[in-house]
Structure 1
Amino acid sequence: MVASGMGILLSVNGLLLETLSFRVYQRRSDILRLFMAAILENVGYRQLNTLWRCRGMWQ
């Protein structure tokens, strides 16, 4: 739980720094999609990726 929270925090902070520095994404809907992807990546995809890596090591 703590690792997921820390991952979300790092992803969102990185995204925030990028949007403030470079301003590539002008529409709010694009920025909102990026924030949602940053959160969803840390909730399910990373755990699934870890499972795949562990399974690959055992094989």
Structure 2
Amino acid sequence: MLIALFRWLGEQRDVLGNPFAGMTERGGQHTAPFDTARAFTEWEWQAVRSLADRLEGSLG
């Protein structure tokens, strides 16, 4: 995880080098499966978007 973080920070030019570049991860799963049980339904996304639009309009 730190390897990827420092790689990204290097690409953004926020750090000069990756101190973890030579290391390898042991025993970890590199990509976690997407848990669809924790995703919003279409209706929930519409409710979130509607609320965000109203909040944005109230800011001025």
TM range (shorter): 0.3 to 0.5
Using the size of structure 1 for normalisation, the TM-score is 0.36
User: Per residue, is there more helix in 1 or in 2?
Assistant: 1
Larger radius of gyration: 2
Using the size of structure 2 for normalisation, the TM-score is 0.36
